[in-house]
Structure 1
Amino acid sequence: MAYQAEYLSKLRTAAEAVKVVQSGDVVDYGFFNGKPVACDQALAARAGELTGVNIFTAVSLPPVPAVLMAPQAFTYNDLQYSQLTRMAAKQSPRVFYVPIVYHMAPRLLREGVGFKRNVGIFQVCPMDSHGWFNLGPQNSEARARMSADDVVIVEVNQNLPVCLGGAEESVHISQVDMVVEAPPEQRPFGAPPSQACPEETQIAHNLMPFIQDGSCIQLGIGGLPDQVGRLIAQSDLKDLGGHTEMFCDAYVDMIESGRMNGSRKDFDRGRVAYTFAIGGQRTYDFLHQNPACASYPVDYTNDPRVIARHDNMVSICNAVQVDLYSQVNAESNGPAQISGNGGMWDFVLGAQWSKGGKSFICLTSTHTGAQGQRRSRIVPTFAPGSIATIPRQMVDYIVTEYGAARMHGLPTWARAEAIIGLAHPDYREELIAAAAKQGIWRQSNKRG
């Protein structure tokens, strides 16, 4: 009863709660499905009376944040561009990317590095009988942000799944300054089912021989990882484990098929450790109160030292481009930010530190642009302004629909040869010519 009384004493409408925000403030929004909706709309309604407010968040999911429509008052800073953020950045001059090594974020927040935080607003599950609000399908760095914020507002969404820990998966009423109740129709974003293209399906098949019984799997979002999950579910693999940044639909397939049970994991045995989840309603229903899944802060899931403690770690990440030096661009189209580094660096390194571990950078060999023109994703060098997300010395395997090639131990000419062998045949001759011009092709090199 004491917790309920405290809850009622802190209960506010969204409009009342956001009155605490002042011009020049830094406002943290929860990440992913933790982004507030009711409070965001109420804050945007104050655009005429505010200036210089900085919003910090990551992976903005629908609905469109209302503050994006008021760039005269709000600057929007996103740690990982989503499709929604990309669209907003084309229309607003006040949308910016925040580069960060994801697993370091909680420490930097607690040490006060960067901007001073004023207000934090986070979607959470309803309070339980012990006074705790579960954070739902997004743990990430929420508790670290709350500890850095002067004022903490929670927006209670009765439709979020309760995601068991792990650690730091809940916040107590005593640590909250204001409570706002979201309308009953407010639901987490349901990602539509992804469909792998034929090239992604072939990439998934190319990956399968590298996965063995007892492997511990990390996947991201999109058609490729979902196809990998489907192939694993249909395979005869057994005793797989899961340790990942993102829990996606593919994990439900692998677990429900019996292929992933975590029985051979070196720790977190029997559970998939993750820091956030994005998927369809089936995935959220699966996560709800499920002890087979453990929500952890990102400084645990993404710490390369933690990842490396799992033997036979398999990390599968997507890329935008690879150049002939084996540098990886996973986040930009020239100077235009289209995604982010996320936890890619963390898992690329952690998987390679793992005993028997492997890191795979995956991409289709070509891409069809908005005007219908086909272009090679394997390029001689990156265009000016492009970002090298992963430096060449950290790259393990590169995979396209034409095969997989390991980079470690190869000099530049051998890397160029291997990478050109992964390119679409229509582009191989011009890539060979470029490699020769760049001084990384030997006349005795094999031609694809």
Structure 2
Amino acid sequence: MTMIIASQHKMRNEEKGKVMDYKNKVISLTEALNLVKSNDIIVTGLGAAEAQLFMDNIHTVADRVKNVTITNCLSMCSGKFLNEEYKESFNIDGWFFSPLMRKAFKNGNIAFIPNHLHLAGKKRLAHVKPNIYVGSATLPDKHGFISLSCSNTYERRMIDEADIVILEINPNYPRTFGDVEIHYSEIDYLIEADYPVPTLPDVDSSEKDFVIGKYIADMINDGDCIQLGIGGIPNAVAASLKDKKDLGIHTEMMTSGMVDLVNLGVINGSKKTLHKGKIVCTFALGNQKLYDFMHDNPSVLVMDGHYVNDPDTIAKVDNMVSINTTIEVDLTGQCCSESIGPVQWSGTGGQADTAIGAQKAKNGRSFIALYSTAMVRNPKTGEKEEISKIVPMLKQGAIVSLSRNDVDFVVTEYGIAALRGTNTRERVERLIAIAHPKFRDELRKQALEVGLIYEK
């Protein structure tokens, strides 16, 4: 095994810089799957950068391998390898859970990797090195360069460390720029693919979303630089920014809503203090319009997640505005954004990265948004009931994604609670003020009962 790996690395080095027929590296899907061995550690790309063919078919080798670890992030594939029947063959470690990962979690072979996104790849490599990296990419250009296309959150770092590198090259993937370009001579094997780039359906914003979006948009100034996520609230924020001017983008995720703002002339990056005139992201996921916009567009830079999401990098962007969502907030400001109690739901992602980085920036601001209530099923009656998402204490076992020390503005459909520099009594008062009116008296009573505040 050691001799094979050494030979592959030697071949990469000898070929680098040469112009040669990339077809020499093309193998079939079956040949690629045959490279998988028991106890291998496999890493695939984030979201749309995942190797769809390889991951959709890796379950077919389950009968001959054991204890293979698949490491993914926001997986978009069919997930057949997650089926309970394959749990002796595959372990799955995720940086960010997808719906299929949540559903299969009870099988016992799935685990979450706690992380801040800008350190996800670096810290993982300090723990384990991949035997195989497999991801998606564009076809080589006339100079032999492939673009990793939709993500470089951790992908290039894994390519540099993996024993074997396999890329599914696909004419449907947008050719992007930044630090995603890699010569095909540095890749061990290529699989020719022709599937469409995975998309996220556009989410319609609700009336509550637009109320929250307007609150946040009113605090965004012409010339600000923004970071947005996905979902109804971020989409509503984007829709509420159409009258702004000279906005910039420095974000972990590039979204479809950002393209609309570029086309309207709202986003041009002319006031940015870092990468002026450029849209900077570490991955992209959205609709086909997004991918068409990114293709061969030098104004879009897809860069290493360790750089883009580093709070110290974000701090260099004057007037930076971070906008994220959460599941539950306690009355001191702790945000649970990734779990339902102790049950992993999604992931920390870059929430802490961007919230902290934005507040370190000159004139920077950070917003955490959520609905004031949610409908949940009562475990005793089985009936759905409305509960407050602003609570005296987080649910038992809840994961704190953003500490109260790092929370700036909290927004619901009832207003904005400015928490920067406030004491705990002020936080209790301000957060109760943006809770649903029907829960405010009870929240105050509970705050007194648990000792968050005392009557004077």
Shorter-chain-normalised TM-score: which range? Answer: over 0.9
Structure 1 residue 402 displacement after superposition: 0.6
* 8 Å Cα contact 2:166-2:188 kept in structure 1: yes
Structure 1 residue 379 displacement after superposition: 1.1
Q: Secondary structure at the match of 2:384?
A: coil
Alignment of 1:108-147 (within 5 A): 108=123, 112-147=125-160
Is 1:399 the counterpart of 2:399? The answer is no
* 8 Å Cα contact 1:228-1:250 kept in structure 2: no
Structure 1 residue 156 displacement after superposition: 1.2
Which of 9, 29, 36 is the matching residue for 2:51?
A: 36
* 8 Å Cα contact 1:137-1:277 kept in structure 2: yes
Measure, in 1, the Cα distance between the counterparts of 2:210 and 2:104: 31
> Could you report, residue by residue, the CA deviation over 1:164-192 in whole angstroms, capped at 9, with x for unpaired residues?
22x2x12221111111112x3x1111211
Name the TM-score, length of structure 2 as normaliser. 0.92
* 8 Å Cα contact 2:68-2:91 kept in structure 1: yes
* 8 Å Cα contact 1:227-1:250 kept in structure 2: no
Matched-pair identity in %:
35
Q: Secondary structure at the match of 2:34?
A: helix
Measure, in 2, the Cα distance between the counterparts of 1:41 and 1:439: 52
Structure 1 residue 273 displacement after superposition: 0.2
Q: Secondary structure at the match of 1:180?
A: strand
Alignment of 1:333-412 (within 5 A): 333-369=340-376, 372-412=384-424
Name the TM-score, length of structure 1 as normaliser. 0.94
What's 2:443 paired with? 431
Structure 1 residue 442 displacement after superposition: 4.2
Q: Amino acid of the residue matched to residue 104 of structure 1? A: L
Measure, in 2, the Cα distance between the counterparts of 1:283 and 1:260: 14
Measure, in 2, the Cα distance between the counterparts of 1:137 and 1:7: 21
Q: Amino acid of the residue matched to residue 239 of structure 2? A: R
Structure 1 residue 410 displacement after superposition: 1.6
Q: Which runs of 5+ in 1 are unaligned?
A: none
Which of 185, 192, 196 is the matching residue for 1:174?
A: 185
Structure 1 residue 289 displacement after superposition: 1.1
Alignment of 1:27-66 (within 5 A): 27-61=42-76, 63-66=77-80
* 8 Å Cα contact 2:152-2:303 kept in structure 1: yes
* 8 Å Cα contact 1:405-1:418 kept in structure 2: yes
Q: Secondary structure at the match of 2:127?
A: coil
Q: Secondary structure at the match of 1:86?
A: helix
Alignment of 1:88-107 (within 5 A): 88-90=104-106, 92-107=107-122
What's 1:209 paired with? 218
Q: Compute the RMSD of aligned alpha carbons.
A: 1.6
Q: Secondary structure at the match of 1:8?
A: helix
Measure, in 2, the Cα distance between the counterparts of 1:250 and 1:196: 12
Aligned residues: 434
Q: Amino acid of the residue matched to residue 211 of structure 2? A: Q
Q: Secondary structure at the match of 1:191?
A: coil
What's 2:331 paired with? 324
> Could you report, residue by residue, the CA deviation over 1:369-428 in whole angstroms, capped at 9, with x for unpaired residues?
365322211111112111011111111111111111111222111111111111111111
* 8 Å Cα contact 2:95-2:120 kept in structure 1: no
* 8 Å Cα contact 1:152-1:178 kept in structure 2: yes
Q: Amino acid of the residue matched to residue 17 of structure 1? A: A
Q: Amino acid of the residue matched to residue 114 of structure 2? A: P
What's 2:27 paired with? 12
What's 2:8 paired with? none
Q: Which runs of 5+ in 2 are unaligned?
A: 1-14, 378-382
What's 1:314 paired with? 321
Structure 1 residue 267 displacement after superposition: 2.0
Measure, in 1, the Cα distance between the counterparts of 2:450 and 2:427: 13
Is 1:226 the counterpart of 2:235? The answer is yes
Q: Secondary structure at the match of 1:415?
A: helix
Is 1:301 the counterpart of 2:308? The answer is yes
Is 1:85 the counterpart of 2:109? The answer is no
Measure, in 1, the Cα distance between the counterparts of 2:72 and 2:207: 34
Measure, in 2, the Cα distance between the counterparts of 1:203 and 1:281: 27
Is 1:73 the counterpart of 2:86? The answer is no
Structure 1 residue 6 displacement after superposition: 4.6
> Could you report, residue by residue, the CA deviation over 1:235-271 in whole angstroms, capped at 9, with x for unpaired residues?
1x21111100000111111111111110010121111
Structure 1 residue 105 displacement after superposition: 2.9
